[in-house]
Amino acid sequence: MKKRKTWYWIIGLSLVTLLVCGGFVAVGLWVANKFGGGQMGLAFGEGIAIIRVEGVIVPGEAPPPSPFGGGVTGTAFSQTIIEHLKNANDDEDVKAIILYVDSPGGSVFASDEIYLKIKEIDKPIIAAMGSLAASGGYYVSAPTDEIWAGPSTLTCSIGVISQFINVEEFAEEYGVTAITIKSGKFKDTGNPFRNFTEEDRELWQIIIDEIYADFVNIVAEGRGMTEKEVREIADGRICSGRQAQEMGLVDKLGYLPDVIKRAAELGGIELEENEEPRIIEYSHQAGFADVLGAALYRPSPIEELRQILHFDAGSPLMYLYTGL
C-alpha cells in the first residue's frame, strides 16, 4: 500500500511539473506575441510585407501555435490571411505587399473572402507564386497589381469542382443501413449512402456553372481579358508559369527575391546598391488562454485524417487542383 501511494505522489508531481512548465512557456509566448507587435524581425523603417497563402485554403482562423511544435500545417486559413492583409494595409511602414502563394486552392467561400480583402488594399500588391498556385491559388492572385511565377510553377487550373463519396455498395456488403427522413427529394443530395441521380447532377451542375462564371469574370477583370478569352483557357487545365505568361495569366517570370526588388520599386523605397529592403511578416495574435490551450491540446486521429483528406475545407464547392 505504501509503495502504491509513493507512485501516486510521483505521478501527481510529474503532472503538476508538466502543467507548470507548459504554463511558463505559454506565458512567454503570449508576452512575446502581445508586446512584440506580431512582426518578425527587429528592423525599423520602410519595408515590404509578405503575406503567405500556403497550403489548402480553408475558412476560419489559424489555431495558435503549440509551444511544443507541430500543429496544423499545410493549411491557409482565410481569416488569418485577411487579418495580416489588414495589418499590412494599416501599417505606415509597409510601402508594398507581396502575396506569396503556394497553394492548390481550396474552399470557394474562403478564396472569395481573401479576394474581397485584396480588392480593398490601397497599396501596391504583387502575387509571387511558389511551386504551386493553382485554382483557388490563382483566384486570390488575380486581383493583385502584378503576378509573378517561376517558369516551373504549376498554376492555372481555373475551374470549380465538387466531389461526393458514395459508400452504398460497401454499406450493403457489410450490412450497414442508413435510414433517412427528409422534407423533400433533394434534401439528402450528396448522401454517401445513396447514388447521385440525374436530377441531383443537374442541380449541382447549375451551381457549379454559376460559381465557374464568377471565377471567369474575376480572371477577366484582373487580367484585362474578355470573358470569351478566359473561357478558352479556363477548362481546368494545369499549366506551367511559362505557359501562363504566354496565355496572359502571369505578368513576369521570377522568384521571390525578384518580386521583393520589384515591390520595393513599386513602393518607392530607395535602396543603396546591393541593399535589401526590410521584410515584415505578421504572426498570429493569440491570447494567453489560446496559447495554453494549444500547449495541452492534441487532435484526435479522426481530426488528423480529416485534415489530410481536406475534409475541413468548409463546403463541397472547391477551387481546388486535385492532382496532388
Provide the residue type at 56 as one letter.
Answer: V
Kindly list the distances between the CA atom of residue 311 and the CA atoms of 64, 103, 135, 139, 316, in Å, as whole numbers in the listed order.
Answer: 21, 16, 17, 20, 9
Catalytic residue of the set 119, 182, 185, 187:
187
Nearby residues of 64 by Cβ (< 8 Å), 6 or more positions away: 284, 286, 290, 291, 293, 294
Nearby residues of 158 by Cβ (< 8 Å), 6 or more positions away: 135, 138, 215, 216, 219, 230, 233, 234, 235, 236
Paired with 148 in beta bridges are 128, 252
- The answer to whether the beta carbons of residues 118 and 97 sit under 8 Å apart is no
Q: Where are the beta strands (DSSP E) in the chain?
A: 47-54, 56-58, 75-77, 94-103, 105-107, 125-134, 146-149, 154-156, 238-240, 252-253, 278-280, 318-320
Please choose, from the candidates 319, 139, 156, the residue with its C-alpha nearest in 3D space to the C-alpha of residue 249. 156
Q: Is 152 a catalytic residue?
A: no
Catalytic residue of the set 107, 135, 157, 240:
135
- The answer to whether the beta carbons of residues 131 and 222 sit under 8 Å apart is no
Q: Is 107 a catalytic residue?
A: no
CB atoms within 10 A of CB 18: 12
Nearby residues of 164 by Cβ (< 8 Å), 6 or more positions away: 190, 192, 196, 316
Secondary structure (3-state) at 161:
strand
Q: 520589384: which residue's cell?
A: 262
Q: How far is the C-alpha of 89 from the C-alpha of 99, rounded, in Å? A: 12
Q: Which residues are catalytic?
A: 135, 187
